[in-house]
């Protein structure tokens, strides 16, 4: 487990639970350097002023907020310190809400909460009470220099703090061109439901892999082995959108293909479960 990124306490009512905050996810991004094409010399970034194109040293850089187009007000360290946000080291639970009432789109980044010395019993109490009531604690928490909305919920025996968007951070869906009333035939909806049923399975997160990362790694390894030579590959055709008149036939074909795949998978599992006996 990585080092704790934050230590404080969970607070609800008069209860305080000492906790440490750990990242619940990890993602290894590919790191690329910009290179000069002629000799592959690394290209470094420079901080250049727009006005005269001159490089600016760090000690001459300040933070500014653009309050009008091209007009800025400078904020110093003392200005940030003047922002008095309460509960700096506290996950301050303000409400308990039915988990089903919260649209999943509000949640976006999870962290594990680990109890610190003396907090085991209160930690377990909150975890079990949330699990039994199917509720989530909606809290405010300050991490580094920013205040977040967050949900405290039980997950696999642990308490998870999942950062949430504030309501005004979500984009307005009314700006999107979304079909409201579309005439859909009974046969089409029945076949669509059948296709969903045929593709349904138990949730297994291990089943899904980052295919793009693996494929890109293969390309990188191939180029390293070839000494950096170009690799020729035929361009892939983008799938065409399904026309309205083709919906029924496309659904029918999808059902047939899904059924065939399931039969093949079942036969494969059967062979593994009952391997053929070797001839004496």
Q: What CATH number is attached to the domain comprising 113?
A: 2.40.290.10
- Measured from the Cβ of residue 45, the count of other Cβ atoms closer than 10 Å reads 6
Question: Does residue 145 belong to any structural domain of this protein?
Answer: yes
Structural domain contains residue 139? yes
Q: Which domain holds residue 187?
A: 183-198+244-269
Task: Please enumerate in sequence order all residues whose Cβ is within 8 A of that of 87, keeping only pairs 6 or more positions apart, or say none.
Answer: 11, 140, 141, 142
- Of the two residues 270 and 115, the one the predictor is more confident about is 115
- Is this structure's pTM higher than 0.95? no
CB 55 within 8 A of CB 47: yes
Q: Are residues 111 and 12 in the same domain?
A: yes
18-30 average pLDDT score: 83
Q: Are residues 129 and 260 in the same domain?
A: no
Beta bridge partner(s), residue 92: 11, 140
154 inside domain: yes
Cα–Cα distance, 116 to 112 (Å, whole number): 13
pLDDT at 273: 60
Instruction: Tell me, rounded to whole angstroms, the distance of Cα 255 from its chain centroid.
Output: 31
> Among the ranges 130-139, 188-197, 228-237, which has the highest mean pLDDT value?
130-139
* Domain co-membership, 150 together with 102: yes
Tell me the CB-side half-sphere exposure of residue 238, using CA atoms within 13 A.
2
Half-sphere exposure of 280 (CA within 13 A, CB side): 0
Residue pLDDT, tens place only, 162-214: 999 999 999 888 888 888 888 888 888 888 888 888 888 898 888 878 887 88
Per-residue pLDDT tens over the stretch 83-92: 755 546 889 8
- Phi-psi domain of 157 (left: phi exceeds 0; alpha: psi -120 through 50; beta: other): left
Q: What is the chain's mean pLDDT, rounded?
A: 83
pLDDT above 70: percentage of residues in the chain: 84
Average of per-residue pLDDT across 3-30: 86
Q: How many domains does the chain have?
A: 2
């Amino acid at each position: 487990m990585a080092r704790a990124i934050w230590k404080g306490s969970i607070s609800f009512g008069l209860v305080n639970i000492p906790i440490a905050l750990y990242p619940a996810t990890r993602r290894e991004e590919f790191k690329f350097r910009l290179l000069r094409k002629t000799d592959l010399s690394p290209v470094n970034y420079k901080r250049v002023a727009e006005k005269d194109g001159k490089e600016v040293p760090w000690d001459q850089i300040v933070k500014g907020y653009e309050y009008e187009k091209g007009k800025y007000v400078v904020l110093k360290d003392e200005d940030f310190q003047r922002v008095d946000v309460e509960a700096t080291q506290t996950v301050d639970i303000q409400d308990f809400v039915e988990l089903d009432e919260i649209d999943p789109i509000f949640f976006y980044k999870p962290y594990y909460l680990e109890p610190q010395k003396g907090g085991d019993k209160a930690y377990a109490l909150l975890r079990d009470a949330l699990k039994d009531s199917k509720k989530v604690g909606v809290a405010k928490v300050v991490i580094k220099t920013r205040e977040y909305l967050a949900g405290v919920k039980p997950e696999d025996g642990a308490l998870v703090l999942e950062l949430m968007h504030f309501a005004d951070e979500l984009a307005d869906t009314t700006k999107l061109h979304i079909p409201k009333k579309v005439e859909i035939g009974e046969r089409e909806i029945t076949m669509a439901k059948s296709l969903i049923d045929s593709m349904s399975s138990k949730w297994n997160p291990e089943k899904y892999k980052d295919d793009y990362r693996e494929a890109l790694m293969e390309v990188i390894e191939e180029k390293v082995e070839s000494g950096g030579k170009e690799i020729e590959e035929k361009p892939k055709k983008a799938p065409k959108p399904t026309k309205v008149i083709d919906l029924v036939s496309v659904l029918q074909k999808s059902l047939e293909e899904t059924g065939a795949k399931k039969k093949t998978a079942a036969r494969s599992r059967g062979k593994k479960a009952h391997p053929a006996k070797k001839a004496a």
